[in-house]
Amino acid sequence: MDLSVEDLLNVEVISVSKKAKSLNDSPAAIYVINQSDIKWIGATSIPEALRLAPGLDVARVDANKWAVSARGFNGRFANKLLVLVDGRNVYTRTFAGVYWENLGVMLEDVERIEVVRGPGATLWGANAVNGVINIITKYSAETQGGLLVAGGGTEENGFGAFWYGGELASDTTMRGYLKGFKKGGSTNEKGNNAHDNWDKIQGGFRIDSQLTSNKSLPGTPDIVFKKYKTAIFVQGCYWHRHENCKLASMPKQNNEFWIKKFNATLRRDGIVYFKLKQLGWRVSVIWECATRDKVFLPGHIKTLVVWLKSEYEYIEIPDFFSEADGF
Ligand SMILES: [Zn+2]
């Protein structure tokens, strides 16, 4: 993925503070492994993908066992690391650690893996002493249709995975998957077969229903009209730089710093609007000044209603370029 440094800092993460924040604003040593990283290194399992995260100890015990930890004390039964799949912990109740070889989410389903190194116990509980690994899978609306993956080799004798995503109702989507593999064994120090070859078949599914649809949409819009597939953002004129608006003044000092900060916000907004468009949503931006302005407010609401019923994809209210009656 071609991301500039600014874009990288704006990557959204949720594992540090339990809510979406930009990487730059997250006060922790956090690393994000995304889908394209996984593809690039050709990982066939989650632990292999985790090798990308700096500062994480990823050790392969033998052909079918892994040991993963952060900040030392690694071992097959290391249990001071919290591992989550979509926010649910996956530790084994018997020893509070993770059987990594059983953590078989389909890698193509992974949206990103967030790795937080360092104490996370205050927020996540006792398991998060040395860090948090949050494996986040894709929203099922983004994986509609079918996908088939297959491969093989001398060590990875063969592997394959299949997913199918469909719509159950107008606001409910699902995805089901089936994957399997056969991995060759390793050799012991004498050069003999270590008899640790293994194979596995696994299936699973995910269903998403948009009960609170604004929370699951990019940028968490302030208002959502599901019927019109429309997301509405009420944006502050100052931070989101409402053009030609008197509320969007420029600070007198530290000009360069502020311009950088504003540009980052604008870029983030642009990405959110683009993502919504890709998901088939229309976007309306209502500027703060429009909500303050009691005289023109009824007119603004009327404009919004007309637009809602139209086919236009985007509207700003007020728009100082098309409306002469602004400030
Ligand atoms: Zn404004």
Q: How far is the CA of 19 from the centre of ligand 1 (A)?
A: 28
Q: Among 189, 209, 229, which residue terminates a domain?
A: 209
Q: CB-based burial of residue 46 (10 Å sphere; 0-12 exposed, 13-18 middle, 19+ buried)?
A: buried
Tokens linked to 16:
């540090």
> pTM of the predicted model, to two decimals?
0.63
Of the CA atoms within 13 Å of residue 61, those in its CB half-sphere come to: 14
Average pLDDT for 190-202: 91
How far from 277 is each of 213, 307, 312, CA to CA, in Å?
15, 16, 12
Q: Is the pLDDT of residue 327 over 50?
A: no
Q: How far is the CA of 318 from the centre of ligand 1 (A)?
A: 8
CA distance 12 to 32: 9
Q: Is the pLDDT of residue 324 over 50?
A: no
pLDDT for 211 equals: 62
Query: Strand 223-225 relative to strand 282-287: parallel, antiparallel, unpaired?
Result: unpaired
CA distance 141 to 130: 34
Q: How far is the CA of 47 from the centre of ligand 1 (A)?
A: 49
User: Containing domain of residue 106, as a range?
Assistant: 5-137
Instruction: Check if the beta carbon of residue 121 is closer than 8 Å to that of residue 129.
Output: yes
Q: How far is the CA of 239 from the centre of ligand 1 (A)?
A: 10
Q: CB-based burial of residue 268 (10 Å sphere; 0-12 exposed, 13-18 middle, 19+ buried)?
A: middle
pLDDT for 175 equals: 92
pLDDT for 326 equals: 40
Tokens linked to 260:
């950088």
Question: What is the distance, to the nearest Å, from the Cα of residue 191 to the centroid of all Cα atoms in its chain?
Answer: 44
**Is 324 part of a structural domain of the chain?**
no
Task: Please check whether residues 103 and 194 belong to one and the same domain.
Answer: no
Q: How far is the CA of 186 from the centre of ligand 1 (A)?
A: 66
Task: Please check whether residues 187 and 243 belong to one and the same domain.
Answer: no
Q: How far is the CA of 288 from the centre of ligand 1 (A)?
A: 6
Tell me the CATH number at 298.
3.40.960.10
Tokens linked to 146:
């079918």
Task: Please check whether residues 183 and 289 belong to one and the same domain.
Answer: no
Q: Is the pLDDT of residue 5 over 90?
A: no
CA distance 98 to 105: 14
Instruction: Check if the beta carbon of residue 135 is closer than 8 Å to that of residue 155.
Output: no
Q: Among 88, 108, 137, which residue terminates a domain?
A: 137
Q: How far is the CA of 286 from the centre of ligand 1 (A)?
A: 9
Residues 43-75 pLDDT 10s: 989 999 999 999 899 999 988 999 999 888 899
Amino acid at 185: G
Q: How far is the CA of 308 from the centre of ligand 1 (A)?
A: 21
**Is 323 part of a structural domain of the chain?**
no
Name the domain count of the chain: 3
Residues 260-269 pLDDT 10s: 999 999 999 9
Who surrounds ion ligand 1 at CB < 5 A? Answer: 237, 242, 245, 247, 287, 289
**Is 322 part of a structural domain of the chain?**
no
